[in-house]
């Protein structure tokens, strides 16, 4: 019997699962959108009636993940939905909000609708009683120097069967994942427009957004 046939191709097709087995945590893809000259600023939506870029590439990446993660700062900036739209037959990823003190997700938030399950990660000592009525799952994790312990978050997701995650940001949480050595691949969408200065795509404590 021959062994190792198409080994490289088989590995390439199972990168996320193999990484999760090898590391005991989900495979992490950090995704961001930016303009050429504006850090992490998203391109301005086109005017009504003009041609829109296809959402397919981002939706496909989204639908391939078992979970999608955002930081509390992203949710405070704008109400997010985070469910997959426009991909026929897609399995909805678990929506995960990293909300240390349980202050960003309020009852009635878009991320709590019934389009997909939601998990809110809070600190072990956070006052999160108000989240009980939302129907979301809540996981309590140790604090880190800033926010929550990233490795504990990934371990909690792995224990729930999550093998791949799409890290949607924002820049501060993405910086924490990179600092923790917990980003396996980066997918950047660069729009070929110039919008001037904007926040950095990745932030660190030394270089905040
Ligand atoms: N261009 C893009 O692709 C993209 C993507 C997403 C967001 N954004 C933009 O980014 C902006 C928000 O950025 P942001 O950096 O303020 O928000 P963020 O990265 O979504 O959230 C940062 C917050 O996450 C919490 N957190 C929990 N654990 C953490 C840890 N270990 N390390 C660091 N933070 C941790 C902290 O708040 P608590 O401790 O209070 O929970 C922290 O302030 C918005 O304007 C949004 O539109 C852009």
Which domains occur in the chain, in start order? 28-42+56-191 (3.40.430.10)
- For residue 31, the ligand 1 atom closest to its alpha carbon is 3
How does pLDDT run across 33-63, given as a tens digit for each residue? Answer: 888 765 565 555 555 444 444 444 567 788 8
Best mutation site among 98, 152, 188, 208 for ligand 1 pocket (most ligand atoms within 8 Å of CB): 98
| Long-range Cβ contacts of 24-27 (<8 Å, 24+ apart) | 24/155, 24/158, 25/151, 25/154, 25/155, 25/157, 25/158, 25/182, 26/66, 26/67, 26/154, 26/157, 26/158, 26/162, 26/163, 26/164, 26/165, 27/163, 27/164, 27/165, 27/184, 27/185
- The residue contributing the CA closest to ligand 1 atom 22 is 73
- The residue contributing the CA closest to ligand 1 atom 33 is 173
How does pLDDT run across 89-125, given as a tens digit for each residue? Answer: 889 999 999 999 999 999 999 999 999 999 999 999 9
């Amino acid at each position: 019997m021959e062994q190792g046939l198409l080994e490289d191709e088989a590995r390439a097709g199972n990168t996320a699962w193999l990484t999760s087995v090898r590391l005991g945590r989900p495979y992490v893809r950090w995704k961001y959108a930016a303009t050429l000259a504006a850090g992490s600023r998203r391109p301005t939506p086109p005017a009504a009636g003009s041609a829109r870029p296809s959402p397919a590439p981002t939706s496909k990446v989204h639908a391939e993940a078992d979970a999608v993660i955002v930081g509390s700062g992203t949710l405070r900036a704008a109400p997010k939905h985070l469910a997959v739209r426009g991909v026929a037959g897609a399995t909805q990823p678990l929506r995960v909000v990293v909300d240390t003190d349980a202050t960003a997700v309020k009852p009635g938030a878009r991320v709590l609708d019934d389009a997909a399950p939601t998990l809110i990660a809070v600190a072990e000592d956070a006052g999160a009683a108000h989240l009980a009525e939302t129907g979301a799952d809540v996981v309590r994790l140790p604090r880190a120097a800033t926010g929550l312990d990233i490795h504990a978050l990934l371990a909690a997701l792995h224990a729930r069967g999550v093998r791949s995650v799409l890290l949607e940001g924002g820049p501060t949480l993405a910086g924490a994942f990179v600092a923790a050595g917990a980003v396996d691949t980066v997918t950047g969408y660069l729009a070929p427009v110039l919008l001037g200065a904007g926040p950095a795509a990745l932030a660190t404590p030394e270089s905040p957004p």
